[in-house]
Amino acid sequence: MKRQLIAGNWKMNGSFAANEVLLRVLAAGMGGATCQVAVCVPAPYLAQVQGLVVGTGIELGAQDVSQHEAGAYTGEVSANMLRDFAARYCLVGHSERRQYHGETDAVVATKAQRALAAGITPIVCVGETLAERGAGRTEEVVKRQLAAVIHTNGHCISEIVVAYEPVWAIGTGKTASPQEAQRVHAVLRNQLRAATEQADRMLILYGGSMNAANAAQLLSQEDIDGGLVGGASLKAGDFLSIIAAAH
């Protein structure tokens, strides 16, 4: 059976002091974890966290990557720079990037390509807004978002991780019911099956207000292979409970 992945998304939170405490408590509490665990941290903390996770079983992730390889792109961080910090994962196309930074499906697809070329696994986020959901367009939206990444990345598509994050569930305390989430995950799995023979071993994570109380039910769904956890990943006890609920 494939191991699930629980990835924390710290977003724009943290400090040297807080990161150190959080990771020390996580490392101490990870004992019997059977799933894979990662933390996606703000770029300035990559070096610190790279050092803190050594020997803990926790893997390092970034939250974004430039669509460009190198050059005159002030403020951007390239995939090769992330590789210098031995980042294993990078979030790509998080809804906050799509919404506040105008990232299009095409930009997200190129970012995934840059990560893959640097040997970093992109965690490609897809998800519908509340309005899109209300209009019955969930399937159409997530399929369009994933199709762009499939189209640009060809046979490498089997190397990505997908995260279904309904935008209306992010940071709101509202989660998709396990059945609703499973339905969308199955749609995404079928789309991947049409693109690669490896689809059944690929990971499709759920994200959006996953917490200690709802994780077990979500993670027991057939096509839910882990979680992308925002708020609850900043509280060691909550994150450890989610890790314990995964396999």
Letter string b/e over residues 139-156, b meaning 16 or more CB atoms within 10 A of that residue's CB: eebbbebbebbbebbeeb
Of 59, 94, 96, 128, which one is the catalytic site residue?
94
Structure tokens at 57: 């079983």
CB 98 within 8 A of CB 106: no
d(CA 168, CA 175): 8
Window 18-37: residues binding ligand PGA (CB under 6 A): none
Among 39, 230, 239, 242, binds ligand PGA (CB under 6 A): 230
3-class secondary-structure state, position 224? coil
Report, in angstroms and rounded to the nearest whole number, the Rg of the chain calculated over CA atoms: 17
Please identify which residue in 4, 5, 6, 9 interacts with ligand PGA, judged by CB under 6 A: 9
Distances (CA, A) of 78 to 62, 74, 142: 11, 11, 26
Nearest to 176 by CA among 243, 221, 232, 236: 221
**207/226 with CB nearer ligand PGA:** 207
The answer to the question of residue 207 lying near ligand PGA (CB under 6 A) is yes
170 binding ligand PGA? (CB under 6 A): yes
| Residue 228 touching ligand PGA (CB under 6 A) | yes
Q: Which of 8, 2, 4, 46 is nearest to 240 (CA)?
A: 8
The verdict on 231 binding ligand PGA (CB under 6 A) reads yes
By CB under 6 A, which span of 44-52, 58-66, 204-212, 238-246 interacts with ligand PGA?
204-212
Count the Cβ atoms, other than its own, within 10 Å of residue 191.
17
* Contact between 154 and ligand PGA per CB under 6 A: no
Q: Indicate the residue among 85 and 206 with the shorter CB distance to ligand PGA.
A: 206
Site membership for ligand PGA, residue 203 (CB under 6 A): no
Piece in contact with ligand PGA (CB under 6 A), picked from 64-72, 138-146, 181-189, 225-233: 225-233
Query: Does residue 96 carry a catalytic annotation?
Result: no
Task: Give the interface with ligand PGA as residue ranges (CB under 6 A).
Answer: 9, 165, 170-171, 207-210, 228-232
